[in-house]
Amino acid sequence: MTDPTFPIRCRNLWKIYGPGAAALAATHAPGPDPETLASRGLLAALRDVTLDIGKGEVFVIMGLSGSGKSTLVRCMTGLVPPTMGDLLIDGENLRDMSPDRLIEIRRHKISMVFQDFALLPHLTVLGNIAFPLKVQGIDRESRERRAAELVELVGLAGRESHFPHELSGGQQQRVGIARSLITNPEIWFLDEPFSALDPLIRHEMQDELMRLQATLNKTVVFITHDFDEAIRIADRIAIMRGGRVVQVDTPEGLVLAPADDYVAAFTRKIPRHRVLRVASVLGPVSAGATGDPVRNTALVGDVAARVLAADAPLPVVDGGGTIVGSLDRQSVIGTVFGVNA
């Protein structure tokens, strides 16, 4: 039952740490209650996580430290086995895979970028990037040819023979990214890839990532605890708290309809003009609206300057060019300062 639209599906996923966790799984299916966990001194890093990640989607996982983000991704990649529940990668259940099949999948279908880069200190840039192919037994010449292409792609040309400690943090992570792309994976996991970098470099790397993704169109699972980063790159965001996924939605959806107070508090600080689209704040079709129309899918922040500069409200059109409403200064200013909507 391969499902082309959802390469990753989690079904009632639990990960419990502590002695006797496995025994608990046998007796307390489909999932233990908090009292049982507390009385046995167990820690549930994932509680009943169910979600689907779509093909070509940039799926961001957010949450405070210790909320279980890394654990979720480690389950998806098979680095830790879930205590209960199922994980399907392209319809194949991770639980039923033989070790050989798992190696196969890791060599060709999925790859990962690490927060602390995890570069091998004894290999050059080229050697590090080519490393996954070396593991696959591909001969030196072909793997270095392919690695050279990736060096080019991530903008490290001229540094092929440098060693990791001779590079800046940003450059090191470029190597990490290139290495994770060399096997041409379908699913790309990134666990806080830019957290160790300073803000300017981080911004640059986010641009780089979006540029790459625009051409590569992979399924991306991206962990961060930086909301700015999340809303820049995400198609959808999952908010985690204490091992539970509290809400999965587009950035706009999280702001407009937070599932509970926690998400509301979490999203309060987001600059709204950077997540809200014109469609969510437009006014009724008005005859007074003149000038160049704006698209209803544009971010309010992107059209704010034009609206503020115009004397009258601007008309709003949908993809077909039909006028669906108008946008005036008031709604733009209200959005920027978080007053209306």
- Of 111 and 335, which has the nearer Cβ to another protein? 111
Q: Which residues contact another protein (rule: CB under 8 A)?
A: 74, 77-79, 103-107, 110-112, 114-118, 120-124, 131-132, 134-136, 161-163, 165-166, 183
Here's the x/- map for ligand ATP, 214-233, by CB under 6 A: it reads as -----------x--------
Residue 68 interacting entry, from ligand ATP, Mg ion, another protein, none, C-beta within 5 to 8 Å by type: ligand ATP
Calculate ∠ Cα 210-211-212, nearest 5°: 90
Q: Which residues bind Mg ion (CB under 5 A)?
A: 70
- In the complex, least distance from residue 17 CB atom to ligand ATP, rounded to whole angstroms: 4
Of 59 and 315, which has the nearer Cβ to ligand ATP? 59
Give the other-Cβ count within 10 Å of 34's Cβ. Answer: 10
**SS3 track for the chain:** CCCCCCCEEEEEEEEEECCCHHHHHHHCCCCCCHHHHHHCCCEEEEEEEEEEECCCCEEEEEECCCCCHHHHHHHHCCCCCCCEEEEEECCEEHHHCCHHHHHHHHHHCEEEECCCCCCCCCCCHHHHHHHHHHHCCCCHHHHHHHHHHHHHHCCCCCCCCCCHHHCCHHHHHHHHHHHHHCCCCCEEEEECCCCCCCHHHHHHHHHHHHHHHHHHCCEEEEECCCHHHHHHHCCEEEEEECCEEEEEECHHHHHHCCCCHHHHHHHCCCCHHHCCEHHHHCECCCCCCCCCCEECCCEHHHHHHHHHHCCCCEEEECCCCCEEEEECHHHHHHHHHCCCC
Select from ligand ATP, Mg ion, another protein, none the partner in contact with residue 134, using the beta carbon and a kind-dependent cut-off of 5 to 8 Å. another protein
Cβ-based nearer residue to another protein, 117 or 227: 117
Residues 46-65 that bind ligand ATP (CB under 6 A): 63, 65
Cβ-based nearer residue to ligand ATP, 67 or 331: 67
45 binds ligand ATP (CB under 6 A): yes
| Contact partner at residue 143 from another protein, ligand ATP, Mg ion, none, CB < 5 to 8 Å by partner kind | none
Q: Does 67 bind ligand ATP (CB under 6 A)?
A: yes
Count of residues in contact with ligand ATP, rule CB under 6 A:
12
175 binds ligand ATP (CB under 6 A): no
State which residue has the least CB distance to ligand ATP: 70
17 binds ligand ATP (CB under 6 A): yes
Cα–Cα distance measured from residue 62 to residue 99, given in angstroms and rounded to the nearest whole number: 30
Is 43 a binder of ligand ATP (CB under 6 A)? yes
From the list ligand ATP, Mg ion, another protein, none, partner contacted by residue 83 (C-beta under 5 to 8 A by kind): none
Q: Which of 9, 69, 143, 202 binds ligand ATP (CB under 6 A)?
A: 69
Q: Which residues bind ligand ATP (CB under 6 A)?
A: 17, 43, 45, 63, 65-71, 225
